[in-house]
Amino acid sequence: MTESAWAVGMFLAVFVVLLSGYPVALALGGTALLCAGLGTWLELFDAAFLLALPNRLYGIMTNETLIAVPLFVFMGMVLDRAKIAEDLLDTMAELFGPVRGGLGLSVTVVGMLMAASTGIVGATVVTMGLLSLPTMLKRGYNPPLACGTICASGTLGQIIPPSIVLVLLGDVIGSAYSQAQLDQGVFNPKTVSVGDLFAGALLPGLGLVVLYLVFLLLLAWIKPAWMPTMPASNCPDGWRLRRVIKGLLPPLALIVAVLGSILGGLATPTEAAAVGAVGALSLAGLRKQLSFACLREVMQGTARMSSMVFLILIGAALFSLVFRGFYGDELVVEWLSQLPGGAFGAMTVVMAVMFALGFVLDFIEITFVVVPIVGPVLLGLGLDPIWLGVMMAVNLQTSFLTPPFGFSLFYLRGVAPAEVTTGQIYLGVIPFIALQLLMLGILAVWPALATWLPEQIYGR
């Protein structure tokens, strides 16, 4: 066997191991070490490649951008404990209740606000599933539509900043962009930051919200029996206004503090994440919703999730080294360069592969396995790094909705009433997956949707 055949075999083997249920970090690192050992024995792999691993691990440990991950996770978990979503749902129900389809619109708007303040899909889907789904079913909403609305709205935290996906993807895209420029002989490479991706993803994320809202309004008009109106509240207008302000003001203040400081150039994403963590603690303290016992659970949950992410980073670093040792990067360059259509053809194939992988893998696995391999090649073909990052982020968002392993589907299934079937949940997300693909098409035709805001803010 040649080195190229080993590279392909290694890539296929890691997916087989991942599908078998092994933890992602162990699957990546274990497959890499096994292939490296066999390759060294067969004199097809130079073990000197592994000597670069300590430097890569040190780079991960000293990467200030990645400090934002545990801080954003902590912020999201604290806000979940503070029951911000409950107040938001009540507030939006007051605003949209009398409108046909108003409850579905409320869930979507709350999903957007929770995305911009927490960025954690699991907490948003579970909370809205517990609070909204029984009410929507009781009011006569079509069960698949109700399930699809909750699942899709909960995934907005993957594209609307601050998002863990954008933090991780920004780090990977930044490294890939530097590598692509070095391969082209540019020894003073330009950089791409997480803040660039935050700015680039803001308009597409809001555009996706608009697509969801338009779809729900059209459906309420075409199929009124699927989305009945809610009875109007008898509360005085002044009381309703005070309740709306009370429900909206805290999360909006936190959104402005976090995103405003990043987009305004006042803070890096890591510094803004620290502001968000302190702000979330302050909100929880004011609402008297966070005891020492709850705080301990939040800190333990943050440690578990952050440890998982960084272990996967270590496994991915080892996998990438061994893959390059088998000249897999050169194989990918050759394969993508020979595709018809040039950069557009290569981009289309990569997007299709990532979408297909989303049916069986989650966004972290795809981010750390696929993007470091194809990123330098695509960027070397002249694609804009911010546009590419946002396209990948929207594509990765679909992995939360695509059956059979979409995480949002599992989250909702765990809290849905017994009368809601898994088939209804799967059926309900199909139109929202189509809307996400439509947004991908819009971005492909109109890249300025992702690049205009970073140019205005950072002068790129």
HEC sequence for 357-422: HCCCCCHHHHHHHCHHHHHHHHHHCCCCHHHHHHHHHHHHHHHHCCCCCCHHHHHHHHHCCCCCCH
Count of positions (residues) in the chain: 460
* Residue 158 neighbours by CB under 8 Å, 6+ apart: 115, 119, 121, 164, 165, 363, 393, 396, 397, 400
The structural domain count of the chain equals 1
Give the model confidence (pLDDT) of 10-30 as tens digits.
878 887 887 777 777 788 888
Give the model confidence (pLDDT) of 264-312 as tens digits.
778 888 888 888 888 888 888 877 777 888 888 888 888 887 888 788 8
* Percent over 90 (pLDDT), the chain: 13
How much is the pLDDT for 137? 85
Provide the domain limits for residue 296. 3-458
Give the model confidence (pLDDT) of 406-415 as tens digits.
778 877 887 7
